[in-house]
Copies of this chain bind each other. A is one copy, B any other.
């Protein structure tokens, strides 16, 4: 269904369609727009769940991960110096180095950090990849559990099999109901009904509905995300701004995915059908307002569209 319109002056320029679901920790759908049972490819919205095995297998405790380090294992980070330092610290604790990261690599998403890297004669490497924290956390889990570190991206690797089972348990799906692809960073990516993602974030945010091992790990992960929102994304980024403005956990993913969990016991999942990230935040903000959570409409949540001289020339309008 139509979620948002992009207006340029009086011109209706583009339209984003999509789906939203609010569900509780029991998996009950509280509100929805579009088909709540339709599948969504979780992309990076799964990262806080993918981080759970690093905690419940004992790796995070054994290697004394700090809150900042645990938060960056849940991140799509901007490659800012603090992000890069935290990733390097995790690798050092694991006795590994950047060459063990197999996430690919790209210039820091944070443009000034990319500029500074080039200015100093540096080259973007795997540690700047927005997924490097997730990969470092996965590698730490492999080291702690005695699993092979060279093949950690393979769907058949014991860690990835454990991640799949964890995603299924957290989101209330059977493992065979979860569809698997390959994410932009090379590890398995998961698809399941949108209502499952919403319920999963209700559980992550409260522990309700989770077995004891997952509930304890979820408590540590959400505490880290809440205490260090900068580490989950970065300067001017949506997740960081949402978590700074409200008592929520928030994790976006590529292709217009956003998942939010509230300590009040509900989760919100958004999928923009065409994959446009720009519509996910404003659509989520509108849905969160209906749930009684007011977010500032500034920065990453601003509906304004500006030209390159900074003049406002249009707006993104919510349609649902």
Please, could you name 26 A-B residue pairs with CB atoms under 8 Å apart, sorted by A? A6-B275, A8-B41, A8-B189, A10-B181, A11-B180, A11-B189, A13-B41, A13-B255, A13-B275, A14-B272, A17-B17, A102-B309, A103-B308, A104-B310, A105-B308, A107-B111, A107-B115, A114-B118, A118-B119, A181-B313, A182-B311, A182-B313, A184-B313, A185-B307, A186-B311, A274-B276
Q: Chain B residues with Cβ under 8 A from A121's Cβ?
A: 119
Q: Chain B residues with Cβ under 8 A from A272's Cβ?
A: 14
Does chain B have a CB within 8 A of A297? no
Q: Chain B residues with Cβ under 8 A from A14's Cβ?
A: 255-256, 272-275
Find residues 79-119 in chain A having any chain B CB closer than 8 Å to their own CB: 102-107, 111, 114-115, 118-119
Q: Chain B residues with Cβ under 8 A from A104's Cβ?
A: 307-310
Instruction: Please name the residue on chain B nearest to A38 by beta carbon.
Output: B12
Docked pose: A273 CA to B10 CA in angstroms = 17
Q: What is the 8 Å Cβ interface bit string for chain A, positions 167-182, against chain B (1 contact, 0 not)?
A: 0000000000001111
Q: Are the C-beta atoms of A186 and B307 separated by less than 8 Å?
A: yes
Instruction: Please name the residue on chain B nearest to A179 by beta carbon.
Output: B11
Find residues 117-163 in chain A having any chain B CB closer than 8 Å to their own CB: 118-119, 121, 129
Does chain B have a CB within 8 A of A191? yes
Does chain B have a CB within 8 A of A56? no
Does chain B have a CB within 8 A of A314? yes
Q: Least Cβ distance of A279 to chain B in Å?
A: 8
Q: Chain B residues with Cβ under 8 A from A314's Cβ?
A: 181-182
Q: Beyond A115-B118, A186-B308, A311-B186, is A9–B275 a contact (Cβ under 8 Å)?
A: no
Does chain B have a CB within 8 A of A15? yes
Docked pose: A137 CA to B90 CA in angstroms = 53
Q: Least Cβ distance of A116 to chain B in Å?
A: 8
Q: Chain B residues with Cβ under 8 A from A16's Cβ?
A: 274
Docked pose: A13 CA to B273 CA in angstroms = 8
Find residues 1-31 in chain A having any chain B CB closer than 8 Å to their own CB: 6, 8-17
Docked pose: A115 CA to B311 CA in angstroms = 27
Q: Beyond A118-B119, A119-B119, is A15–B309 a contact (Cβ under 8 Å)?
A: no
Q: Beyond A274-B14, A274-B16, is A8–B181 a contact (Cβ under 8 Å)?
A: yes
